[in-house]
Structure 1
Amino acid sequence: MDTTRTAILDAADRLYYERGIQQVGIDELRSASGVSLKRLYSEFPGKNAIVLAVLERRHAMWVEGLDVAARGEESPRGKLLAIFDFLADWFITDQFRGCAFINAFGELGGSSPEIATVARAHKQSFQDYVDSLVADAGGTIPLARQLVLLAEGAQTTSAISGRPEAAVHAKAAAAVLISAALD
């Protein structure tokens, strides 16, 4: 990726995630990225395209983070619980502001079908990932759905409360669910 595009996406990601997409205008984004307005528009035809590119990067970061967390575990059960360790590590960062996809959907999902589609695809991708891990552990789809709800709820709870321990509580609940379903 070229440095101009990266500068725009870095600035957009930071500003949108900190303040919200609708609160950040193109002029502010141009200034924060250090890119001329003409160059910004040569990279992206409009704000919606920038938001979609930011979400694409966020999705890649999410997938990579989950993969790294799972790689540290050998058992399917350990890989499932590693999801909550990944969340706990994310929640304690100063930059945590909730799920960028939920935030974007809340702001623009009703007016931008593309944003809604990308948010839904991201959430479906996570569900598919958990479905696969649960199947590897010998579990069923209902268990996978319950674990995803715990992870999603932990993200929202932590973002709203400003307290990171939601991941710890969700992990404890997940361990109970996994044991009940698999033992």
Structure 2
Amino acid sequence: MELTRRLTDAAEKLFDRYGYTATGMDRLTKAADMSSRTLYKHAGSKAQLMAMVLSERDKRFLCRTDVKSVEALFDALKDWTATEGARGCLFLRALGETGGDTPEITAAVEAHKAAFAARIGDIVAMDIGRDDPLLTEQIIVLFEGAAHAAIYRGNGAVDAARVAAAALVKAART
């Protein structure tokens, strides 16, 4: 277990910084301080390793976004970008790099995005007292946009999205 954790931690840092395509197996083995044979034994392939990384990131991200209001959701994003870095969504970057042609990565991204959409739907329902699929979609778009705009605009993008989300939530309550 420790070896797998060391591998996924090292791989996540590299994939997050350099991307999936630019991160070669030599770089991964060096960062994880293991042989390529050991890496393949624990990960199977680079695509499987990326899927493992995305699965672990999914758990960490969903834990961080386990909140009770839309405002708190944007606070969680601001905290995430401050601690994890503002490089956009690793899930969407991995999907973009592979063009949806790598089943392991596509499945991990689809699972994460479905779980995250359900989480947003639950948060919206708690915040306004009822389900609202349109508001849920709007909050998802604001959140995803803020995560990517934070790359070049900093956390001001998250603050701007929070204000827009607050206006939408207020309108939905009336």
TM-score range with shorter-chain normalisation? over 0.9
> What is the number of residues matched between the two proteins?
172
For the pair 1:31 / 2:30, whether they are aligned, the reply is: yes
Runs ≥4 residues deviating over 4 A: none
Letter paired with 1:15 = L
Letter paired with 2:93 = N
Contact kept in structure 2, 1:109 and 1:115, CA below 8 Å = no
Contact kept in structure 2, 1:88 and 1:165, CA below 8 Å = no
What is the rounded CA distance, in whole Å, between the counterparts of 1:138 and 1:107 in structure 2? 39
TM-score, length basis structure 2: 0.92
Partner residue in 2 for 1:99: 89
Distance change in 2, residues 1:145/1:100 (3 Å): same
Where structure 1 has 5 or more consecutive residues not aligned to the other structure, the ranges are 71-75
Partner residue in 2 for 1:14: 13
1:121 aligned residue (108, 111, 125): 111
1:155 aligned residue (143, 147, 156): 147
Contact kept in structure 1, 2:11 and 2:28, CA below 8 Å = yes
Distance change in 2, residues 1:42/1:114 (3 Å): closer
Partner residue in 2 for 1:164: 155
Where structure 2 has 5 or more consecutive residues not aligned to the other structure, the ranges are none
What is the rounded CA distance, in whole Å, between the counterparts of 2:104 and 2:45 in structure 1? 13
Partner residue in 1 for 2:164: 173
Name the structure, 1 or 2, with higher relative contact order (CA <8 Å, separation 6+).
2
What is the rounded CA distance, in whole Å, between the counterparts of 1:15 and 1:55 in structure 2? 13
What is the rounded CA distance, in whole Å, between the counterparts of 1:164 and 1:135 in structure 2? 26
Compute the RMSD of aligned alpha carbons: 1.5
Shift in Å, 1:94: 6.5
Percent identity, aligned pairs only?
33
Shift in Å, 1:84: 0.3
What is the rounded CA distance, in whole Å, between the counterparts of 1:15 and 1:115 in structure 2? 16
Contact kept in structure 1, 2:86 and 2:148, CA below 8 Å = no
